[in-house]
Homo-oligomer: A and B are copies of this chain.
Amino acid sequence: MAASTLSEVARLAGVSLATASRVLNGSSRKPAEDIAERVREAADKLGYVPNAQAQALAKSSSGLIGLIVHDIADPYFSAIARGVQEAARQQNRMVLLASTSGAASDEREAVAAFAARRADSIVIAGSRSVRAEDQQGNAELAAELDRYCRNGGHVGVVGHPIVGASASEGYHVVKVPNEELAAGLAAELAASHDGPFLIIAGPEGLYTSDDRVRGFQRGLADAGRTPAEVIRTGFNRAGGYDAGLALAERIKSSEERLCIFAVNDVMAIGVTAALRPEGVWIPRDATIAGFDDIETLRDFRPALSTVHLPLEDIGRLAAGDPDTPPVSGVVKLRRSTETPAESQI
């Protein structure tokens, strides 16, 4: 990694280090055009590439923005990543990526690594948990973030504050109105569905999941319906799949049509995938709705009812983009929750 240095360029151009620096980087002082030209030629000839590390060291600002996701190949996270990436591009920064599978200890490590690289800001996506087994991990993560903020770092968190993090300067949360939107979804579903409701949720203690469950129940209550039964499973496709398997018999033997709310889209997809080979058809035998409106849904059949979230905007907001509008979701009713009469296959 031994590229040519600024002093080599300066020497070749016959000028001082400072002048070369002023020419090649955006300085307020503008050297004379003829000398500038000479420097540029020299730089070009030597294939000079400024050492960003050294610049960062001298300026103490790295132009880096750290992004922490559970899994970059998950459509939910990759959509957010795209937003962060765009914001970074606008800010003339680069994105540092870390995937952690959601473990708080890994996230702490990632934050430390970002801090070590002096990232200007850090974006954390992925649901927060208050479960007992995560308590210590959360505390350590919070401490690490706190230190990072105290040292002047900016943190953007998607959804919920890190558990235990003090609301320091430079720490901001991109709020997602999960509860309200879930309530809205429940209201719209209750208007056209007469049977019972069932919620397939993530583990208790996951903020995002809990919020959506709470909101959905509230929406049902407001519509004068009895609360939905809640099944707890993994907050991913596999969890949905398991729940679907467990549910198949029950749906087939019952005469009431069930309306299922899976707290996110990939879980809804998992449920549907499990039900299909069992001969349970959506929306004929049961209806189902998800949450997030990930891009994958575009070509998923039956078209899945869900709540649209502007994931890219969320990423942009978390990355500190000022002219992105605040998060607002929209209920999207599609084929998967149509009533039988309209849904001839």
Measured between beta carbons, the chain B residues less than 8 angstroms from A79 are 73
Q: Digitize A48-67: 1 where CB-to-B-CB distance is under 8 Å, 0 elsewhere.
A: 01111110110011100001
Nearest-CB residue, chain B, relative to A4 = B151
Count this chain's copies in the assembly: 2
Chain B residue numbers with a CB within 8 Å of A272 are: 299
Closest chain B residue to A65, Cβ basis: B97
Residues of B near A1 (CB, < 8 A) are 60-62, 118, 120, 151-153
Residues of B within 8 Å of A49, CB to CB, are 112, 115-116, 147, 151
Report which of B47, B71, B82 forms a contact with A147, defined as CB distance below 8 A.
B47
The contact size tier of chain A is: 35 or more
Task: Name 13 extra pairs, CB < 8 A, besides A85-B99, A269-B299, A296-B296.
Answer: A1-B62, A1-B153, A3-B118, A52-B118, A53-B118, A72-B85, A73-B75, A78-B78, A89-B99, A95-B96, A272-B299, A273-B299, A300-B300
Q: How far is the CB of A129 from chain B (nearest CB, A)?
A: 22
Q: Are B151 and A3 in contact (CB under 8 A)?
A: yes
Structural contact, B51 and A118, CB atoms closer than 8 A: yes
In the assembled complex, A191 has its CB within 8 A of some CB on chain B: no
Name the B residues within 8 Å of A295 (CB-CB): 73
CA–CA, A79 and B99, complex, Å: 13
Instruction: Known A49-B112, A52-B117; judge A97-B97 contact (CB<8 A).
Output: yes
Contact A51 B47 (CB under 8 A): no
A53 x B47 contact (CB < 8 A): no
Alpha-carbon separation in the docked complex, A118 to B4 (Å): 12
Which residues from chain B contact A147 at a C-beta distance below 8 Å? 3, 47, 49
CB-CB under 8 A from A62, the residues of chain B are 1, 53
Q: Is there an interface contact between A51 and B97, defined as CB atoms closer than 8 Å?
A: no
A262 within 8 A of B: no
Q: Is the CB of B72 within 8 A of A82?
A: yes
Q: Which of A67, A72, A98 has the most CB of B within 10 A?
A: A72
Which of A56, A273, A295 has the most CB atoms of chain B within a 10 A radius of its CB? A56
Is A341 located at the chain interface by the 8 A CB criterion? Answer: no
Q: What is the CA–CA distance of A273 and B298 in the complex, to the nearest angstrom? A: 9
Q: Nearest Cβ distance between residue A16 and chain B, in whole angstroms? A: 21
Complex interface: chain B residues within 8 A of A117 (CB): 52-53, 94
Q: A153: shortest Cβ distance to chain B, in Å?
A: 7
Binary contact readout A21-57 vs B (1 if CB under 8 angstroms, 0 otherwise): 0000000000000000000000000010111111011
Q: How far is the CA of A53 from the CA of B47 in the complex (A)?
A: 22
Nearest-CB distance from A68 to chain B (Å)?
11
User: Is B115 within 8 A of A3, CB to CB?
Assistant: yes
Q: Say if the beta carbon of A113 comes within 8 Å of chain B.
A: yes
| Chain B CB within 8 A of A132 CB | no
Within 8 Å by CB of A94, from B96, B153, B300, lies B96
